[in-house]
């Protein structure tokens, strides 16, 4: 009987280096690639955390190519499977794939080639692998290695937790003689430990490649006039390739249509489109140099396009992990690229609601809310954004000089008194209302729902009238970011004061806020008598960014002045007010 020759580690590493050079065309491994490959070919369990663009796929492809045994690579991303299999075949590697988007006969043929040994490498989606029929068939083969890509999906703490992926934790018991390794671009310490437990009972070696992507410029804007903001950012980049991420399918189509109207080569992409349409958009994106795809978050996962020059988030992502992974699709060639996140408080309310209305247990919801808290802190920080982002992943830098806060540091102002006014307003209105009502009260607007509740008679009514609505929205976001307020989603997004917020209210703590160009209201406040004010006049005033308050015909001058107008009086009837 002929015995297989088992190469020593040194020879295997030499063979891996030859494959790197001869098949992939690289002369040297990138940082950590050599260490990861050595761990895999030594048949040791591993979790590798590597940022997008760090050469993650080579770390498992090369060991699979040089191995005498079969390798199964598991990915939830059909686009990644298709792209990597196509690329490997072009390099002369015998590799197959099985997933739901293929014709049944193509899947059958792929399986037969893998079973016969004609191909030693096969890519599978998790739902195809974890069936009784497939598991039984694989037990008759000599599987040397299981590779779990996007391994954060296997963890209940992962930002893309999937039930079908969690089932992969059974592999270690079903195939005890096989090695199992996991790869991901995003996982905090808790998630890393959970993944290690799932794939190797906690014994996987964890290798974390530095998370810093210094070529990415990080910036954040508060959502105001989104059309103007998008055009201001995208117009100078019209000849470049980029992605705009939206939370909803409807949003992708709305923004794509808007950009087309402004002469952009823009296309929507989401799961509701026909597969042929999605494929056409994806293929065009890979080949065209001036295309912007407006998409839900799935787009770009597994697509190996190195020259994406910008990524825009039109809504708040679900977590810093998701944000980091999505911006990581820009600048994979190492050249300067830009990221922009545009968000508003409505995004935060929506994200909280999505968490609370989900069917996960309370422990998971608590964890997801904490992730969102950290993301909000990142959005509102006056410090270096990259420093805060990397700190989340236990990576350290001093400053980056490549984010908006480093480029133009915000000025911090003592806002303790203003915070006390806002917190008092929330307290006096019972902590039952959201930002719209609270802001209207503090600005002294005599809305119907305010007067009906008697909130116009509170001592806090109008104490913040000289500040704009946008200013107070920004102020509330900063109080939320620093944990002085919380959103109660069960009470429809009501603002509630935390223990640290109460310390500010009691003058036991100070609060500093970022200077804003929205501090003093930029609206002209106009008082108009209701002698049948003409609608066209009101429409003109509103278009001029005026705040119009209609008062009874017999309102006295003293009463009008109490409304603190900063503009004109319109008299639409006979005589002057009494």
Helix (H), strand (E), coil (C) string for 281-339: HHHHHHHCCCEEEEECCCCCCCCCCCCCCEEEECCCCCCHHHHHHHHCCCCCCCCCEEE
Q: Pick the residue with more confidence: 114 or 373?
A: 114
Asked whether the predicted pLDDT for residue 524 surpasses 50, the reply is: no
Residue 505 host element (H or E)? helix 499-505
Task: Tell me the pLDDT of the chain averaged across its residues.
Answer: 85
Q: Pick the residue with more confidence: 486 or 180?
A: 180
Q: What is residue 303's predicted lDDT score, i.e. its pLDDT?
A: 67
Q: What is residue 373's predicted lDDT score, i.e. its pLDDT?
A: 84
Q: What is residue 332's predicted lDDT score, i.e. its pLDDT?
A: 86
Asked whether the predicted pLDDT for residue 137 surpasses 90, the reply is: yes
Asked whether the predicted pLDDT for residue 162 surpasses 60, the reply is: yes
Q: What is residue 553's predicted lDDT score, i.e. its pLDDT?
A: 56
Per the CB < 8 A criterion, the answer to whether 87 and 161 are in contact is: no
**Under 8 Å CB-to-CB from 391, ≥6 apart: which residues?**
none
Per the CB < 8 A criterion, the answer to whether 164 and 130 are in contact is: yes
Asked whether the predicted pLDDT for residue 574 surpasses 50, the reply is: no
DSSP 135-187: HHHHTTS-EEEEEESSGGGGSTTSTT--HHHHGGGGHHHH-TTSEEEEEES--
Q: Pick the residue with more confidence: 288 or 95?
A: 95
Q: What is residue 342's predicted lDDT score, i.e. its pLDDT?
A: 95
Give the Cα separation of 572 and 556 in Å (integer).
15
Give residue 100's pLDDT band: very low, low, confident or very high (50, 70, 90). Answer: confident
Per the CB < 8 A criterion, the answer to whether 531 and 510 are in contact is: no
Q: What is residue 521's predicted lDDT score, i.e. its pLDDT?
A: 43
Q: Is 181 exposed, middle or buried (0-12, 13-18, 19+ CB in 10 A)?
A: buried
Asked whether the predicted pLDDT for residue 247 surpasses 70, the reply is: yes
Q: What is residue 322's predicted lDDT score, i.e. its pLDDT?
A: 86
Q: What is residue 7's predicted lDDT score, i.e. its pLDDT?
A: 60
Q: What is residue 433's predicted lDDT score, i.e. its pLDDT?
A: 94
Asked whether the predicted pLDDT for residue 504 surpasses 90, the reply is: yes
| Tokens matching residue 278 | 């999605």
pLDDT per residue as tens digits for the range 180-231: 999 998 888 888 998 999 999 999 999 988 788 899 999 999 888 899 999 9
Query: What letter does residue 344 receive in the DSSP assignment?
Result: -
Give the Cα separation of 547 and 125 in Å (integer).
56
Exposure letters 525-548 (e unless 16+ CB within 10 A, then b): bbbbbeeebeeeebeebeeeebbb
Asked whether the predicted pLDDT for residue 531 surpasses 80, the reply is: no
pLDDT per residue as tens digits for the range 44-85: 999 999 887 778 899 999 999 999 999 999 998 887 888 899
Mean pLDDT of 443-467: 93
DSSP H helices, 4-120, are: 9-22, 33-41, 56-66, 78-90, 104-116
Residue 402 phi/psi, 5-degree rounding, is: -145, 40
Mean pLDDT of 7-27: 87
Q: Rounded to the nearest 5 degrees, what angle is found at the Cα of 327, between the Cα atoms of 322 and 329?
A: 110
Q: What is residue 555's predicted lDDT score, i.e. its pLDDT?
A: 58
Starting at the earlier edge strand, list the strands of the sheet with 546-551: 546-551, 524-529, 569-570
CA atoms within 13 A on the CB side of 291: 17
Whole-prediction pTM: 0.70
Q: What is residue 487's predicted lDDT score, i.e. its pLDDT?
A: 81
Query: 3-state DSSP call for residue 5?
Result: coil
Q: Pick the residue with more confidence: 193 or 527?
A: 193
Per the CB < 8 A criterion, the answer to whether 323 and 291 are in contact is: no
Q: How far is CA 515 from CA 379, 438, 441, 475, in A?
A: 15, 21, 23, 10
Asked whether the predicted pLDDT for residue 6 surpasses 90, the reply is: no
Q: What is residue 190's predicted lDDT score, i.e. its pLDDT?
A: 81
Query: 3-state DSSP call for residue 362?
Result: helix
Q: Pick the residue with more confidence: 370 or 452?
A: 452
Q: What is residue 300's predicted lDDT score, i.e. its pLDDT?
A: 59
């Amino acid at each position: 009987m002929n015995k297989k020759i088992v190469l020593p580690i040194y020879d295997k590493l030499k063979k891996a280096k030859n494959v790197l050079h001869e098949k992939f065309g690289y002369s040297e491994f990138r940082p950590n690639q050599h260490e990861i490959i050595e761990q895999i070919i030594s048949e040791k369990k591993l979790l590798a955390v590597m940022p997008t663009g760090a050469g993650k796929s080579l770390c498992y492809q090369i060991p699979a190519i040089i191995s005498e045994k079969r390798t199964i690579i598991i990915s939830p991303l059909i686009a990644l499977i298709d792209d990597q299999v196509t690329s490997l075949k072009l390099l002369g590697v015998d590799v197959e794939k099985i997933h739901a988007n293929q014709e049944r006969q193509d899947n059958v043929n792929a399986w037969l080639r893998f079973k016969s040994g004609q191909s030693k490498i096969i890519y599978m989606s998790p739902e195809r692998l974890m069936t009784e029929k497939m598991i039984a068939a694989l037990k008759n083969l000599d599987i040397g290695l299981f590779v779990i890509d996007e391994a954060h999906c296997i963890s209940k703490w992962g930002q893309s937790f999937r039930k079908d992926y969690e089932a992969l934790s059974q592999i270690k018991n079903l195939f005890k003689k096989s090695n199992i390794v996991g790869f991901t671009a995003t996982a905090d310490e808790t998630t890393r430990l959970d993944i290690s437990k799932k794939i190797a009972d906690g014994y996987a070696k964890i290798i974390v490649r530095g998370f810093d992507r210094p070529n990415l410029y990080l910036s954040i804007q508060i959502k105001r006039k989104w059309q103007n903001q998008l055009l201001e950012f995208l117009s100078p980049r019209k000849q470049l390739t980029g992605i705009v991420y939206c939370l909803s399918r409807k949003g992708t189509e709305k923004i794509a249509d808007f950009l087309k109207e402004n002469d952009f080569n823009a296309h929507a992409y989401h799961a509701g489109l026909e597969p042929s349409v999605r494929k056409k958009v994806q293929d065009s994106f890979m080949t065209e140099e001036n295309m912007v795809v407006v998409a839900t978050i799935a787009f770009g996962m597994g697509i190996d396009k190195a020259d994406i020059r910008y990524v825009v988030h039109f809504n708040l992502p679900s977590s810093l992990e998701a944000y980091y992974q999505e911006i990581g699709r820009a600048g994979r060639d190492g050249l300067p690229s830009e990221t922009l996140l545009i968000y508003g408080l409505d995004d935060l309310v929506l994200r909280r609601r999505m968490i609370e209305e989900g069917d996960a247990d309370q422990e998971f919801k608590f964890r997801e809310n904490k992730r969102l808290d950290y993301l909000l802190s990142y959005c509102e920080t006056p410090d270096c954004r990259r420093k805060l982002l990397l700190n989340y992943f236990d990576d350290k830098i001093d400053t980056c000089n490549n984010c908006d806060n480093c480029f133009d540091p915000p000025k911090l102002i003592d806002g303790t008194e203003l915070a006390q006014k806002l917190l008092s307003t929330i307290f006096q209105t019972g902590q039952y209302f959201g930002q719209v009502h609270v802001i209207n009260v503090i600005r002294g607007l005599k809305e119907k729902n305010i007067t009906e509740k008697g909130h116009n008679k509170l001592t806090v009514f109008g104490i913040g009238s000289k500040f704009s609505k946008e200013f107070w929205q920004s102020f509330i976001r900063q109080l939320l970011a620093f944990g002085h307020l919380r959103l109660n989603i069960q009470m429809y997004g009501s603002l509630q004061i935390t223990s640290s917020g109460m310390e500010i209210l009691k003058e036991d703590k100070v609060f500093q806020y970022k200077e804003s160009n929205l501090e003093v209201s930029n609206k002209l406040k106009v008082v108009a008598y209701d002698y049948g004010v003409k609608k066209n006049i009101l429409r003109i005033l509103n278009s001029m960014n005026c705040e119009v308050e209609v008062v009874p015909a017999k309102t006295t001058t003293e009463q009008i002045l109490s409304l603190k107008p900063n503009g004109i009086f319109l008299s639409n009837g006979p005589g002057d007010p009494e």
